[in-house]
Structure 1
Amino acid sequence: MKNYIVHDEWNIIEEGFQPAYNEVSESIFSIGNGRMGQRANFEEDYSGKSLPGSYLAGVYYPDKTRVGWWKNGYPEYFAKVINAINWIGLHIEVNGEVLDLAKCDVHSFQRKLDMKHGLLIRSFDARLQNGVEIRVKSTRMFHLFQSETASLKYTIQVLNQKASLQVESYLEGDVVNRDSNYDEHFWNFISSGTSDSQLNMTMKTKKTDFIVRADLVNNFTLNNKALESRPSKEGTYVSESVAISVEPGDIFSVEKRVSMVTSQNYSETELVVTGKANIEKISAITFDELQHNQALAWGNFWNESDIEITADVAAQQAIRFNIFQLYQTYTGEDSRLNIGPKGFTGEKYGGVTYWDTEAYCVPFYLATQPSAIARNLLLYRYQHLDKAIENAAKLGFSKGAALYPMVTMNGEECHNEWEITFEEIHRNGAIAFAIYNYQRYTGDWSYVENYGLEVLIAISRFWAQRVNWSAEKDKYVILGVTGPNEYENNVNNNWYTNTIASWCLKYTLESIQTLKDSDHIKLNVLFEKVAFKQEEAVAWQHIMDHLYYPIDTESGIFLQQDGYLDKEQVLVADLPDKERPINQKWSWDRILRSCFIKQADVLQGLYFFEDQYDLDTIRKNYDFYEPRTVHESSLSPCVHAILASKLGNEAKAYEFYLRTARLDLDDYNNDTEDGLHITSMAGTWMSIVEGFAGMRVKNNTLSFQTFIPKTWDSYAFHVQFRGVKLFVKIKQHDFELINKSNQEINIIFNGEAISVKPTA
């Protein structure tokens, strides 16, 4: 765990140059706008430890699968979110010496992420080896108001003597990924140019044939007076440069404005036209005006999505950081895009979509944004249904059964660890649950009848074929699976998997009946489309009635899997600190044989389906499993925070909130350097709104059951629910509810029915 980020309510601040933490900081200070983003790499040359990363949503490369030996059903590739054209680059020489902080005496250094206004700001004073002292400040933004564009401003002052500056601003297309399986370069060069006072470059991905066009405008000034520049072009490197003499106190500045457009959205001809138009639009206004527009756009977002905490700066900073990074990753404007586990902050976990989206991110977008955004996340899966059916067919399933991929960019499975690819099938259940969650929260049945039910039928067909009858148990069983706890593989009857499989069948049958009652003609059209037979419904009901669930009858504990109690039962509290995290200190064999749990498994099911169990059952299972959980998945603490809140364990709820909220800021698991844990950031929001505030939807009514951590004076948040925008503020001995819409809403608040009238 690291603790070098300065606590501040609206800013993430790093004081002092710490090269050992640079890759961690590059992740933490990442910046984006939903369409593209970038790690906080330095603009100037840097020979120290760094992971360059500039990413474009939806642009990927199918890196050939690298495994020791092949298994039937393996995907042929692992999709990589790939490093794209470097547009921020500056090559700077001061009296002939290259500016490189790894080789300078850095006197002062600050890196700041201004979350309120969407800015990355860096400043430093440094003494070069030749004795020249300089002061530098850079400001970078990815425009939320025009998501195909970004800009930066970089200023240099020489402090102690007259000096010569040579500054080259460039576009570079010859970029690589650190995680390339065979050290392959993923790009082919198409063209570059320096026409019309602009730099441009066009690159094309190998295999997938994504074309990316970058257009860049540079503005060089000395003491606010424009300077003439010299263009240069050499294949994948195109630049403009100036050479000037400066006096102490002179301010040299270069502004870079870029447009990045892809063939995902435009034809090859349109790429040129659109790139130039984007550049003309953002070049027509000053850098200050760009910052003003950026502030307005982020202000609109924060007005709907902020969580305010008083009297706890660390907690306040953390929740805003998580919300900020989540929205930087996905703004919901395009149903072809999704929420990658690293977003625009790193290469790890290639692909763009895991079950994290449905289980953790959908609730955040349901409550903070117009329902169309969450609907787009569901449409993403509907658009991939045919691929999900193909994925299942590759594994031997038939008749329209669908298995959604563990990892995907285009609907195809591209994950290649057998115990995950073939066995972590509970992901199908999370996708079904998201449909239910969307319907429950928005009241929008139209999505289910027009899209969702078709997905539910395909998923249910998978479950019906995945079970088998056990003569010994006289029950249906589900064998050879991996549950959410990935520290157990190839187990039988994972309680969570069996539970969500049965629930999927039940919800599908209920949805069929609802559509039959409301529009039997539409149901018949759907049945004809998917070749549904009534015999399937009978078979599904039989499975539901006879599915096996592993339970320890003596204690009443739902067993994580059939053999869980055969393991030596040791508590995490008994683990020496030097052996944690176990995924970095233990052999995989030792982990698999241990009772230790990576993340919520049985408790994940109790979170989803809490209404089906009494409080005593939830408490017994929580008290049994939480002490055995090492929380080495970023997705774990939030579920535990929500359940601890429900059980009245306020101290534990707060502990887990801080763990999920500051997971990356404090680098809890020593893995922030390769990117942030974007999808788990939604869990931070859930920890407060569903945990501390106890927000639920019960019988079509919004309900709250609140508590407040003892160290807080208050916390407040906004939620949108079925056309109503509600502001909720919880204080130590009071609360405040404001209806910011034009219709009355009836809610349940701490057990009391309350009508909240619109504000005047």
Structure 2
Amino acid sequence: MLEVLQPTEEPGWVLAHEGYSVLTESAVESRFALGNGFLGMRASRSTGRGPTWASWLGYIRWASWPRCYVAGLFDLPNTEPPVPALVPVADWSRVRLILDGEPLVAREGEVLHGLRRLDMRRGLLLSEWTHRTPAGITASGHELRLLSLADRAVGLQLQRIVLDRDGIEVRLEASFGLAGLGMEPVRLESDLGAWRTEGTGKVVAMAGAASLNLNDVSLRPERPFPLRWVWRWRSTAGEVAEFARLVAVARADRSAEDPAPQATAALERSTAVGWRAILQEHEAAWDAHWSDSGIRIDGDDDLQRALRFAVYHLTSAANPDDDRVSIGARALTGDAYFGHVFWDTEIYLLPFYTAVWPEAARALLMYRYHTLPGARAKAALCGFRGALYPWESADTGVETTPESVLGPDGKPIEILTGKMEHHISADVAYAVWQYWRATGDDDFFRDAGAEILLETARFWASRAVAEADGRHIRGVIGPDEYHEDVDDNAFTNVMARWNIARALEALDLLRARWPDRASTLRERLALDESELDDWRDAMGRIVTGLDPATALYEQFAGFHALKRLNVSDYADHALPIDVVIGREQTQGSQVVKQADVVALIALLPEAFSGHGATINFRHYEPLCAHGSSLSAAMHARVAARLGDADMALRYMRETAALDLDPDPNSAGGIRIAGLGGLWQAAVLGIAGLNLMGEALELDPKLPRTWNRLTFKVRWRGRSVSLSLARDAVEATLIEGDAMDITIAGLTQTLNARSPLRVDLSSEALPSVAEVEA
């Protein structure tokens, strides 16, 4: 067993944390979390941490916050306000080691050595520790944990324990900690448990098997309770105890369904092949994913590590086999935001999946298709037509943003994002169009995507009020959430116009290619020509805030009249700027929470003619206080496209630091949107990748400190390897038919088994006139 407990030796693949501090423990548990899109597990220590339970004493900080999650397992807890939340399931990793009747607990005795490693290459959590008890007994241990990427129902835990003394009465207990917390047990058997959520009626089943070998001899366990194993022996100094546990999990979304047979079957197939095969298949699955989605930077080891960390968590978060779930703001790594899904998924995560793992992208978009009824219901409740997606979504697509929360003084604070942050509908539509253009997945477009486009466009047409000077979208919140209840937010309005235009284009496409589908859909949606005429009017007359004389968008009506604030004066404050200067002054100032107009530059560069993108970026970049983890990466992407590599790298490093710094504030889970944004900054920003044209497009602008950037991309059924240096680009068609590729404005044909090299020297590139000709 010892050989598999060693980390990957190649540099840059392993993150390590040594020692223990109550101030950083929860953050480490988030950073080193495991996941496979169906299961998630925080990197809590399994041995010696002591019990954990819920407490109302808010001033007490838990030294550890062990959590295991199942994607889509939501319930309505007894909170005020009542908000659907992802339910933690039984912690199946806990091990208690009792020596001469005294439990081994980290806070007692002396921890001589403690090291946790996240082996990103293999998708493993590796731990090692040496603990001297108050009685002077020294115990050492190594551990491996994984959630299988090859069989998402399965988890594996291995431990190797050695004592330094003879004659110690040893008791090792392995159990499923907190089993049933917040859920009703419906089935408890020796190797199987099933629990039902009280509110939503979902059922989760967990099956387990465990074994212990002492010097390669199997010990028979006591089985006092379901899913609990106890071994006893008297120690010999230096002898090795090897513990192995397999777990299998299944979820049912209706109380009448029984997931136990699925969990049992998964456990049976795992135990039949053994833990070594489980580990090998898991490592092979990770190897395949790294081959498809890995990024290699020659010349920047820090950002190389950060991008691997980003790809690790992005890969861990998605499950292409389940299109009824999406990815929450903290994925399956922590409790922050209750597991809710935001616009983060479509705008910050989908580009990665679309480019390297389109099967996962499709499943995430099908989640939005399945939750269209909830979006329609919200639009109707707000007095509009079509589909208004919830700002926060759980499993049903019903709005889950609380209407108010209690402030520190006990008074209610109204939460307006769920009522006013409507750009989410255009964000979903944008992701639908981007996915279809990049993949050519006509089945998705015809059967699901087009309907999303039409229903979101219908919402915008009904939302945009016709007035004498155009059509206005009043009373909204844009990405800049420091300013609430504003009129004509530029990001919202321009995205709305774009959404309507794409819906009309989609309808024309349906008519031309699938006329029966077009007819059926129009009839089912009761979409007549008079309504389409209203869409065309809205598309042309929704005001955008663009001043043709200056090429500057006004972020929202009246923004330019607000007080100018020197945001850089507050850069050194540990607290967000709105906390430092107060809510009232923030709302009255030209200070931006996160990329707003800047995000528009990234998503719709065609909305900025001439030098418009540069003009708007230089205007708004100094005004941004980056009060959201989403902000810096979007600024990095835009700075890279505008040729400011130094600023792009600075913002990329800021994004990476959010979850990689020694003491990050990520106790509630990793900020997966920021990690998706970091990938975008490198691939869509620095590499200049565009998947939405008639050819695969690249316009690289490598920083002078980078020697080479290498990655793969999938585009319309092809797989392409790209290697970018400052003086040349090399492209290889790995799989699929010949295709056109545009590099720095020059379009050429890329054939299989015939690598293409394009010289980027100024002498080799065509002039603008030659390209246009």
TM-score when normalising by structure 1: 0.91
Separation of aligned partners in 2, 1:114 and 1:221: 26
Separation of aligned partners in 2, 1:613 and 1:531: 35
> Is the counterpart of residue 411 in structure 1 residue 405 in structure 2?
no
Q: Which structure 2 residues correspond to residues 119-518 of structure 1 after superposition, within 5 A?
A: 119-159=124-164, 162-174=167-179, 186-194=182-190, 199-233=191-225, 238-264=227-253, 268-269=257-258, 271-369=259-357, 371-398=358-385, 401-408=386-393, 409-417=395-403, 418-471=415-468, 474-518=469-513
Partner of 1:82: 87
Question: Which of 63, 75, 83 is matched with 1:61 structurally?
Answer: 75
Change (3 A) 1:403 1:532: same
Contact 1:340 1:679 in 2 (8 A): no
Separation of aligned partners in 2, 1:136 and 1:712: 41
Contact 1:167 1:242 in 2 (8 A): yes
Contact 1:596 1:629 in 2 (8 A): yes
For 1:624, give the aligned amino acid: H
Shift, 1:522, TM fit:
3.0
Separation of aligned partners in 2, 1:120 and 1:615: 50
Separation of aligned partners in 2, 1:128 and 1:137: 17
Change (3 A) 1:740 1:580: same
Q: Deviations over 1:374-407 (max 9, x none)?
A: 2222222122212211111222224xx2111111
For 2:201, give the aligned amino acid: D
Where 1:396 maps in the other structure, the secondary structure is coil
For 2:364, give the aligned amino acid: L
Question: Which of 711, 715, 730 is matched with 1:721 structurally?
Answer: 715
Partner of 2:63: 49
Separation of aligned partners in 2, 1:200 and 1:293: 24
Where 1:674 maps in the other structure, the secondary structure is coil
Separation of aligned partners in 2, 1:268 and 1:446: 30
> Is the counterpart of residue 626 in structure 1 residue 621 in structure 2?
yes
Tell me the C-alpha RMSD between the 2 structures: 2.2
Q: Which structure 2 residues correspond to residues 687-702 of structure 1 after superposition, within 5 A?
A: 687-697=681-691, 699-702=693-696
Shift, 1:614, TM fit:
2.4
For 2:619, give the aligned amino acid: F
Partner of 1:71: none
Where 2:152 maps in the other structure, the secondary structure is coil
- Structure 2 residue runs without a partner (length 5+): 1-8, 51-61, 404-414, 755-773
Change (3 A) 1:280 1:522: closer
Separation of aligned partners in 2, 1:173 and 1:746: 56
Q: Deviations over 1:168-187 (max 9, x none)?
A: 111234465xxxxxxxxx31
Partner of 2:27: 24
Where 1:207 maps in the other structure, the secondary structure is coil
Separation of aligned partners in 1, 2:14 and 2:524: 53
Contact 1:97 1:130 in 2 (8 A): no
Contact 2:203 2:255 in 1 (8 A): no
Where 1:736 maps in the other structure, the secondary structure is strand
Separation of aligned partners in 1, 2:156 and 2:691: 42
Contact 1:41 1:52 in 2 (8 A): yes
| Greater Cα offset, 115-124 or 587-596 | 587-596
Contact 1:78 1:351 in 2 (8 A): no
Q: Deviations over 1:646-705 (max 9, x none)?
A: 11101011112222234211278x530110112332212111110110011464111111
Change (3 A) 1:286 1:579: closer
Change (3 A) 1:23 1:308: same
Question: Which of 3, 8, 11 is matched with 2:14 structurally?
Answer: 11
Separation of aligned partners in 1, 2:538 and 2:369: 25
Shift, 1:257, TM fit:
0.6
> Is the counterpart of residue 549 in structure 1 residue 544 in structure 2?
yes
Partner of 1:741: 735
Shift, 1:552, TM fit:
5.1
For 2:186, give the aligned amino acid: I
Contact 2:330 2:339 in 1 (8 A): no
Separation of aligned partners in 2, 1:730 and 1:358: 27
Separation of aligned partners in 2, 1:496 and 1:458: 20
Change (3 A) 1:259 1:456: same
Partner of 1:111: 116
Shift, 1:272, TM fit:
3.1
Partner of 2:666: 672
Partner of 2:590: 595
Where 1:189 maps in the other structure, the secondary structure is strand
Separation of aligned partners in 1, 2:48 and 2:581: 38
Q: Which structure 2 residues correspond to residues 622-661 of structure 1 after superposition, within 5 A?
A: 622-661=617-656
Question: Which of 678, 683, 696 is matched with 2:677 structurally?
Answer: 683
Shift, 1:160, TM fit:
5.1
Contact 2:465 2:472 in 1 (8 A): yes
Change (3 A) 1:726 1:448: same
TM-score when normalising by structure 2: 0.89
Count of matched residue pairs: 723
Q: Deviations over 1:328-351 (max 9, x none)?
A: 110312111211111110111124
Shift, 1:529, TM fit:
0.8
Contact 1:475 1:546 in 2 (8 A): yes
Where 2:341 maps in the other structure, the secondary structure is coil
Separation of aligned partners in 2, 1:275 and 1:456: 38
Shift, 1:231, TM fit:
1.0
Shift, 1:732, TM fit:
4.1
Where 2:89 maps in the other structure, the secondary structure is coil
Separation of aligned partners in 2, 1:476 and 1:426: 16
Separation of aligned partners in 2, 1:214 and 1:304: 32
Contact 1:615 1:647 in 2 (8 A): no
Contact 2:203 2:254 in 1 (8 A): no
Contact 1:7 1:13 in 2 (8 A): no
Contact 2:166 2:234 in 1 (8 A): no
For 1:394, give the aligned amino acid: L
Where 1:633 maps in the other structure, the secondary structure is coil
Change (3 A) 1:508 1:718: same
Sequence identity of aligned pairs in percent? Answer: 27
Shift, 1:712, TM fit:
2.6
Change (3 A) 1:275 1:526: closer
Where 1:218 maps in the other structure, the secondary structure is strand
Change (3 A) 1:63 1:465: farther
Shift, 1:362, TM fit:
1.7
Shift, 1:731, TM fit:
2.5
- Structure 1 residue runs without a partner (length 5+): 1-5, 68-76, 177-185
For 1:147, give the aligned amino acid: R
Contact 2:206 2:260 in 1 (8 A): no
Give the structure, 1 or 2, with the largest relative contact order (CA under 8 Å, sep 6 or more). Answer: 1
Change (3 A) 1:587 1:191: farther
Contact 1:82 1:347 in 2 (8 A): no
For 2:192, give the aligned amino acid: N
| Greater Cα offset, 141-150 or 711-720 | 711-720
Change (3 A) 1:319 1:699: closer
Contact 2:154 2:248 in 1 (8 A): yes
Partner of 1:180: none
For 1:717, give the aligned amino acid: F
